Amino acid sequence: MKIAVLPGDGIGTEIVAEAVKVLNALDLKFEMESALVGGAAYDAHGHPLPESTLKLAKEADAILFGAVGDWKYDKLDRPLRPEQAILGLRKNLGLFANFRPAICYEQLVDASSLKPELVAGLDILIIRELTGDIYFGQPRGRREAPDGEFKGAPEAFDTMRYSKPEIERIAHVAFQAARKRNKKVTSVDKANVLETFQFWKDTMIEVHAQYPDVELQHMYVDNAAMQLVKAPKAFDVVVTGNMFGDILSDEASMLTGSIGMLPSASLNVKNQGLYEPSHGSAPDIAGKGIANPLATILSAAMLLRFSLNQEEAAQRIEAAVQKVLAQGLRTGDIWSEGTTKVGTAQMGDAVVKAL
Amino acid sequence: MKIAVLPGDGIGTEIVAEAVKVLNALDLKFEMESALVGGAAYDAHGHPLPESTLKLAKEADAILFGAVGDWKYDKLDRPLRPEQAILGLRKNLGLFANFRPAICYEQLVDASSLKPELVAGLDILIIRELTGDIYFGQPRGRREAPDGEFKGAPEAFDTMRYSKPEIERIAHVAFQAARKRNKKVTSVDKANVLETFQFWKDTMIEVHAQYPDVELQHMYVDNAAMQLVKAPKAFDVVVTGNMFGDILSDEASMLTGSIGMLPSASLNVKNQGLYEPSHGSAPDIAGKGIANPLATILSAAMLLRFSLNQEEAAQRIEAAVQKVLAQGLRTGDIWSEGTTKVGTAQMGDAVVKAL
Ligand SMILES: CC(C)[C@H](C(=O)O)[C@@H](O)C(=O)O
Ligand SMILES: CC(C)[C@H](C(=O)O)[C@@H](O)C(=O)O
């Protein structure tokens, strides 16, 4: 078994180092190999996703990913910017199923913007389709407007697309995930406006026929953005397209108040997966040793569960994280009066000790 | 001066009746003429936006709109569904600039899902482009996938498009609105992924050169969805495209906890406008006389301000609404211990009395 370790930029290197520490402490047999990605790879090789990094990622059973991006790359042409690495990995490896849990840890309820009673016990799973939609749809670009009120004016355009097999496979993922949880799927669409999402909705209904034990609810994306604020606990599994999923999964993780705790997994049909924290590269605090490594450590647990089939080891990590929280250890982002503030490495060490 | 009154479906008729009551109490000279729209128009004429209604709307200086939609029309073909009326009015009248204030009234702070300190004093203005983007972009439809991994499979697609003049005119609207407020514009895009929104961002920067006194900030839509939850008061004017604006404006209004209080305006280049509450038709409480008419009454105030150039009358209405809130009158949606629960008509009467 092989894990590709891609720390990336900003706090990426610091938080991934802690997750690697935890993986090494497990006494399991797997190989780990590191490579540059994002801005770090651009600096060294002139490209955010060099051939060698892509090759390593393809060969590995799983990828442990940190984060990419830094303001200093803002001026580069789009294809060279750090975030192209993550888009490239998703597309090249076919990582179509993105799992983004939004969990509010009991001890961290007060960190939320929301009133405690609205988020205590929150545990929802957002499943975002990750290789289709307007993210990759062709054609796209700039041109003279071919028609309409401003015919002839410069315009830019993109194509939103979903084919039936793409919707079907993410639907199966969602219904199967719901079976292991509270058996409710909310499919988020914009069927009242978009052809793509009327088709999405129709296809969800078709696939649902195979899962009579799971409840299927349909919700417009604007309403979903509201209901997440109003009553987030009413959701169980949320499934949606790439663009809406980008927005709603970030909104949902911020609701918990502790995005520094939230892992994510992106899987392909072979259960090869990329595992990364839900938060970004936070260049403003990079190198200071204060970033929260727990989302990355919990991503490593998901990696063991989904791609390496090591459920027991995954649970050991998750229990260890619960333990350090119970011990009152907190990085700055989740710190509150009465708890002990620790740095990135101290937090990683504490998890290792708690294993 | 002529106001077209289009109550629509669900609670639409009840809440619009109260706004009309308030307008009539002002002793201003204008004509009002009503017509059916949405499901009500479909039932009577077989179309949600009959020719006669569209003609009235076009001739009027302003439109007072209630809400459209009811589950019972869900099975109709898309072109006949109630919400097509609102899309048709926007497109036919060129109502490109949608103003959606998200204000948290002092007396209603506790109705919010968010902690009081995060929303007390909240006053942001979301400006959503309303006639372009993926809402109206052609081509769209269903076909066999012309290329890609699932070439030949059934697929659906839509086109996201923005031409330069469309972006420029909404940019001017946003910068000019910011000048009358706190002089800060946040332009929300997804320039890291979409050609359309890289062009949006570039054009915002160009137009900004004419407004050196206004600060321009750029934010990705996923981050905006998070920052609205985390620190909504950091925003002043938010400007974005039709699709992102649909999602973010609903999220923002729900943050206030009192969406039943929030008006909206949609204007064209001639300041002809459509005015409607930010909430929907709420068929579940229709006909019960319990809906909150204040968002519609405040929409009538915006109508007087923007389309009829009656600033003083607009302020009289707004002051009257403040007064009934101070008196402790509340409809069910904003009621809390210690305040007086009233119905739709009682609330309208109270506003008239407070004028
Ligand atoms: C960096 C960006 C391209 C990416 C996305 O939009 O998918 C990010 O926001 C994410 O959600 O992983
Ligand atoms: C009813 C629907 C078409 C509409 C939209 O998406 O614009 C609504 O959600 C709105 O925001 O006015």
Any idea where the domains of chain A sit in the sequence?
1-96+262-355, 113-133+161-256
Closest C-alpha among A247, A279, A235 to residue A11: A279
Query: Once rounded to an integer, what is the mean pLDDT over residues B169-195?
Result: 97
A135 touches chain B (CB under 8 A): yes
Cβ-in-10-Å burial (0-12, 13-18, 19+) of A254 comes to: buried
> From the annotation, which residues of A make up the binding site?
90, 100, 128, 222, 246, 250, 280-292
Peptide bond into B139 cis (omega under 30): yes
Q: Decide which of 3.40.50.620, 3.40.718.10, 3.40.50.10490, 1.25.40.10 is the CATH code for B1-96+263-355.
A: 3.40.718.10
pLDDT of residue A332: 96
Chain A residues close to B149, C-beta within 8 Å: 94
Average pLDDT in chain A: 97
pLDDT in tens, A69-114: 998 998 899 899 999 999 999 999 999 999 999 999 999 999 999 9
A1-96+262-355 folds as: Isopropylmalate Dehydrogenase (3.40.718)
Output the pLDDT for position A307: 97
Rounded distance between C-alpha atoms, residue B330 and residue B111, angstroms: 12
C-alpha A114 chain-centroid distance: 22
Taking contacts as CB-CB distances below 8 angstroms, the residues of chain B near A104 are: none
Ligand 2 nearest-atom number relative to CA B84: 3
| DSSP H helices in A138-283 | 164-179, 195-208, 221-230, 242-256
Does B74 have pLDDT greater than 90? no
B96 contacts: CB under 8 Å, gap ≥ 6: B129, B130, B131, B132, B166, B169, B170, B267, B268, B269
Mutation target among B155, B196, B242 for the A interface, most CBs of A within 10 A: B155
Query: Could you tell me if the CB of B192 is within 6 A of ligand 1?
Result: yes
Distance (angstroms) between ligand 1 centre and the Cα of A243 equals 9
d(CA B245, CA B207) in angstroms, rounded, equals 20
A-chain residues within 8 Å CB-CB of B156?
161-162, 195-200
pLDDT in tens, A190-230: 999 999 999 999 999 999 999 999 999 999 999 999 999 99
Contacts of B287 (CB under 8 A, 6+ apart): B14
Q: Give the CATH number of domain A113-133+161-256.
A: 3.40.50.2300
Q: Which residue has the tokens 């914009």?
A: A190
Residues 6+ apart with CB under 8 A from A303: A3, A62, A64, A265, A273, A275
> Strand B2-8 vs strand A340-341: parallel, antiparallel, or unpaired?
unpaired
Identify the nearest ligand to the CA of B190 by its number: 1
Q: Which atom of ligand 2 is nearest to the CA of B69?
A: 1
pTM here is: 0.97
CA distances from B162 to A37, B114, B242 (A): 33, 35, 10
Residues of A identified as active-site: 135, 190, 222, 246, 250
Structure token pair of residue B50: 């009959």
- The partner residues of B217 in beta bridges, in order of sequence, read B186
Share of chain B above pLDDT 70, in %: 100
**Residue A257's closest CA among A106, A100, A113, A102?**
A113
A83 lines ligand 1 (CB under 6 A): yes
**Position A184, amino acid:** K
